[in-house]
Amino acid sequence: MRIALSVWKDCISTVFDAADQLLVVEKDGDGVLKRTPFRLSSADGASRAMQFKEMKIDVLICGAISRPQEAAIAASGITVHPFVRGSVQEIIDAYESGQLHTATFALPGCHGRGFGAGRGKQRGKGCPWK
């Protein structure tokens, strides 16, 4: 399982559409978390979706994201967890423990967009790393 986090310094970047840095995390055979930084080559949703597929990304965790970008990425079979905030380590820990969608990690002002029912087919499922 390869998870991409849209990052700025050591935090989730606030706006995915303007972000150009990713941190890809995956566990190796010994359960050690491997972190690899990547630079996004395009701001276009379809191009980003293609780049994610080439990188074999399964999950994207990001801040605010436009509906067209989210739709393009999700249409590629990538699970998108939008409107998330926090430090990289906090978000990785929250994802692993199934706590990513608590109010603690919600961007202020998103009023439920991205959280709860109706936004993403895989919401509320447990962490596949377990």
Q: What is the CATH number of the domain that holds 45?
A: 3.30.420.130
What total number of domains does the chain contain?
A: 1
Q: Between residues 127 and 84, which one has the greater pLDDT?
A: 84
pLDDT above 70 as % of the chain: 84
Instruction: Compute the average pLDDT of residues 16-29.
Output: 91
pLDDT of amino acid 118: 37
* pLDDT at residue 113 is higher than 80: no
pLDDT at 90: 96
- Whole-number average pLDDT of the chain: 84
C-alpha–C-alpha distance, residues 118 and 37, integer Å: 31
Nearest to 60 by CA among 118, 19, 110, 6: 6
State whether the Cα torsion 101-105-109-110 is positive or negative: negative
73 within 8 A of 16, measured Cβ to Cβ: no
User: pLDDT at residue 74 above 80?
Assistant: yes
Identify whether 114 is part of a domain.
no
Q: What is the mean pLDDT of residues 53-65?
A: 95
* Stronger pLDDT, 127 or 54, i.e. the higher one: 54
- Evaluate whether residue 44 is within a structural domain: yes
Does residue 125 lie within any of the structural domains? no
Domain containing residue 54 = 3-105
Residue linked to tokens 């969608």? 101
